[in-house]
Chains A and B, each alone.
Chain A
Amino acid sequence: AQTVTQSQPEMSVQEAETVTLSCTYDTSESDYYLFWYKQPPSRQMILVIRQEAYKQQNATENRFSVNFQKAAKSFSLKISDSQLGDAAMYFCACLENGNKLVFGAGTILRVKS
């Protein structure tokens, strides 16, 4: 079974600064997808960014980018120019068996003004 580990329970960043959230995973599958989801206090789980394992190029979505290290099974999220609206719980997840999302425990991101 896949496991996803987020070793940072909580992170803080100053507004307009850059922060990196860490994630490691373990899977026996050769092809898989990795995700970062954002869950604000409203509870809605929002997809931030997705990475396909067979693509070597790191995914980017505006201020959000990932550092995907396949050999190390590492998948970190970088948020540039942090905004107050970025404050939320962030979950790293891996798609298992093509259907089931396996989530990490989450990292609370606090943005200071």
Chain B
Amino acid sequence: DAGVTQSPTHLIKTRGQQVTLRCSPKSGHDTVSWYQQALGQGPQFIFQYYEEEERQRGNFPDRFSGHQFPNYSSELNVNALLLGDSALYLCASSLGDSPYEQYFGPGTRLTVT
């Protein structure tokens, strides 16, 4: 049973560029949440997708957008990258009626230069 997977593992981008990160949820899970973890800090909630809709959003600008596909996988897009967007981006999956069981992927390390 595959757990949560994320790609790529590492990514280096230049300020002003756009980036797409990908997440495949644990088998059987239908909900995907994205978190940003700056170095030395706790993860911050970006948004959550359920049934291909954004269900909840954290305090992040519109430059951060996402998508969920019919197979429940998800993408996180960040436009007009800033140096401050450098962070570990974590994806967590869960079952819609069991939000208290969130399983995390290994994360994507994004570096903006």
Chain A positions near chain B (C-beta within 8 angstroms): 4, 33, 37, 42-47, 50, 52, 91, 93, 95, 97-106
Cα distance A101–B35 in the bound complex, in angstroms: 9
* Chain A residue, CB-CB nearest to B90: A45
Q: Given contacts A43-B107, A45-B90, are A100 and B42 in contact (CB under 8 A)?
A: no
* Chain B residue, CB-CB nearest to A32: B100
Interface on chain A toward B: helix, strand, loop, or mixed SS? strand
Q: B102 interface residue, CB < 8 Å from A? A: yes
- Distance (Å) between the CB of A27 and the closest chain B CB? 14
Interface size class of chain B, counting residues whose CB lies under 8 Å from the partner chain: 20 to 34
Chain B positions near chain A (C-beta within 8 angstroms): 31, 33, 35, 40-45, 48, 55-56, 58, 88, 90, 92, 99-107, 109
The 3 closest A-B pairs by CB, nearest first: A103-B42, A45-B104, A33-B100
Residues of chain A contacted by B43 (CB below 8 angstroms): 45, 91, 101, 103
Residues of chain A contacted by B58 (CB below 8 angstroms): 100
- Distance (Å) between the CB of B74 and the closest chain A CB? 15
Q: Given contacts A42-B106, A43-B88, are A97 and B42 in contact (CB under 8 A)?
A: no
* Chain B residue, CB-CB nearest to A34: B100
